[in-house]
Amino acid sequence: MKKLNISIFMAFLVLLTFTISPILAAKNTWNIEYTFEGSLYDMDSEITGRGGGQMTLILSGKVTGAPDYIYTKTVVDEPTNYGYGEGNGYVYEEDGELYLVMYFTETHVEGIASYTEERSRWYSPQPTFNGKLEVTWWDDGSIESLNVQLSPSKVEKADREGTISGTYTYSTTETLYKEIDGEWVQEGDTMIIAEGVETFEESYDEANILIQFQGKMNSKGGPPLKGTLELWDVVSANYKFGYGEFGPYMISIYQSVS
């Protein structure tokens, strides 16, 4: 039996509780270095023959000056309701037939939160972030490097300290598909293989940062590809994600750090 592991990130909506590294605390200057893992998709694949590839984006820069906007608030007993979903699975071959087993996990949190929050935003021009994007194309295994130059159009930093209590609900399902005439067709019913409900109460002290970019990237000798990129660093949840589009390339970042 031939088996190939695959992983698919399903977009999630969460209470934004991200943590930034201590280096960001420097007054009026943040030196930032990121390494992101994800995928790059060629939206002109019918022309180029390349569907996409695994990518690494290394990016560094800094944010300078006082924020253009600062907002603080204190909230008591605010209803909290958020959740996320994530899927993964594997493909295997049996008796000359291809099968796909997919697992999908959904979690949901509902409760009450009390907290004090401060948000700072920068809209004024900032120094350019420079870096390199390297992609390994899935079709032939070739490697391509692109230089990246991005200018922040918005930076937001939020610090939040408070308490939260409520219920945590989770459910994991398993679905089997069979390849028929190039399409995945579901075999049987979707089964619930794990589920539960837990109550919780905890204190937290967190921060988050979001950077929205516009800029360009290009390979050696190639034309510059203009586009936009939005990045989140969810350090408190050991997670980073982002998305963007440059010319025919669509970027999807999904990185969980163990």
Domain locations along the chain: 2-256
The segments of the chain whose pLDDT lies below 50 read 1-26
| pLDDT attached to residue 105 | 94
From first CA to last CA, the distance across the chain in angstroms is: 30
| pLDDT attached to residue 235 | 63
Q: Beta strand 97-122 with 129-137: parallel, antiparallel or unpaired?
A: unpaired
pLDDT tens digits for range 200-238: 999 988 888 899 999 999 987 788 999 999 998 876 667
Strand partners, 105: 86, 172
CA separation for the pair 117, 207 (Å, rounded): 9
Task: Enter the tokens of residue 141.
Answer: 């295994």
Residues 6+ positions from 254 with CB-CB distance below 8 Å: 9, 37, 38, 39, 241
Alpha-carbon distances of 76 from 2, 110, 113, 117, 230, rounded to whole Å: 55, 16, 7, 11, 31
